[in-house]
Structure 1
């Protein structure tokens, strides 16, 4: 986690805590999920800065409560738009590109390792089995690490072994997971990192709103949509400010 945990920011956005939720995160996969960690780090630091800014403006005697809120909101928008959201989008895009590329690798065709005659005999054997027995036998060969038998089946058109194309794709995935464990692990880690980034975007937006805050008021107050809110938001203040500035426009 961060050197000093800041309780003002949700632990969900602490870079170390967030990345630690990825089961396959370790020295082998850390470089591949680095975009996610950088995005969380950028967000965490900016959120802390927003909280610090809010504390600072509270000490400024020249600012009204509304003026202080707008100053913090403007600061937050500038930092989020300039740094955090671009980093978040870049991380999601980068990680998703890896996922798509490695998913293709996990479903690519394999080349039969046996001679043409042996491969034909292997396929004929499997085709002669009952459907249930056939699938169990092929999967067992993959689990046993018998790449010769497995590649003989998967390195040819599916119908030659008595399976359909859909089942062949499932078996190809199983084959690559068995014989390329390094890629399988990296794919799991990067997929988890991408999903983490996408899933925590809503938390990030809520944390920004919480850090900026609102003006709590008493009485029957309605927001811009006619709903009772009991608070004034930065958006409402901006709307009033912009309206009051119109007569001064050149």
Structure 2
């Protein structure tokens, strides 16, 4: 699929757009598999609508209007299937993001216990307010788990931090300690954003595949339905 190019279909649906996500690699491919599959189906589906349109032109039993209506009927079915696929992929990525966010926000257990931890917290609390977060950030970067555990493993006020400050530092610590998980979260968010952007193109691309505006097809359907009433016994 990656090597096949259909010039009738927007490249925005090509699965290579998922693989172009910066964080796409062996660690994130499984997380992004649903988004990749959704775009692949969209790429193929729109191409099939173009194929159907050309086949309709070759059907001797159909005039232009009939071919247009049948092509639109096919496009509607494809659109419904793609909407389900995009919704499913979106829901799955949302669950992944929620789980990773939860894991990267877990409190540090047991790090704030002991006399040394108390001394560390007292030292940090005595620092000027504008220096406390910087001190803890440097400890995180240095991998100083004793200092990080003391400052983030107990109540925020013991270090002179607000709960919001401690939460932000805790997130930095988890991302530093779990780079693979942090990368997966970035990939999942990028995939979710991509699905949102590409999903909005489905109707436009289907309209191009059908070769007419929805309003025109609806008028033809209405005229067909009205004419068929004359054949009801």
Provide the residue aligned with 1:172 in structure 2. 170
Residues 103 and 232 (structure 1 numbering): CA distance in 2 closer, same or farther, change over 3 Å? closer
TM-score, normalised by the number of residues in structure 2: 0.93
1:2-28 residue CA offsets vs partner (Å, 9 max, x unmatched): 332100000000112x11231100111
Pairs within 5 Å for 1:1-250: 2-16=2-16, 18-81=17-80, 83-113=81-111, 115-214=113-212, 233-246=216-229
Gaps of 5+ in 2: none
Is the Cα contact below 8 Å between 2:112 and 2:152 reproduced in 1? no
CA displacement at 1:232 relative to structure 2: 5.8
1:114 Cα offset (Å): 6.4
Alignment deviations for residues 80-111 of structure 1 (CA, whole Å, 9 cap, x no partner): 21x31111110000010100111111111112
Q: 1:155 to 1:233 in 2, by over 3 A?
A: same
1:225 is aligned to none
Q: C-alpha separation between the residues in 2 aligned to 1:107 and 1:249? A: 67
Deviation at 1:207, TM superposition (A): 0.7
- Compute the displacement of 1:42 (Å): 1.1
CA 1:149 to 1:62, structure 2 compared with 1: closer, same or farther past 3 Å?
same
**Greater length-normalized contact order (CA 8 Å, ≥ 6 residues apart):** 2
Question: 2:2 & 2:25 partners in 1: Cα distance?
Answer: 18
Q: Contact 1:13–1:204 (CA<8 Å) still a contact in 2?
A: no
Aligned length: 233
C-alpha root-mean-square deviation of aligned residues, in Å?
1.9
| 1:224 match | none
Partners of 2:126 and 2:215 lie apart in 1 by 75
Task: Classify 1:246/1:163 alpha carbon distance in 2 versus 1 (closer, same or farther; 3 Å).
Answer: farther
Query: 1: distance between equivalents of 2:223 and 2:144?
Result: 73
Paired residues of 1:36 and 1:91 also in contact (CA < 8 A): yes
Distance 1:185 1:249 in 2: 63
- State which drifts further: 205-214 or 112-121: 112-121
Give the structure-1-normalised TM-score. 0.87
- Taking a change above 3 Å as real, the CA distance of residues 205 and 118 of structure 1, as seen in their structure-2 partners, is same
- Contiguous gaps of at least 5 residues in structure 1: 216-230
In structure 2, C-alpha distance between the alignment counterparts of 1:177 and 1:232, rounded to whole Å: 51
> For residues 133 and 171 of structure 1, what CA distance do their matches in structure 2 show?
13
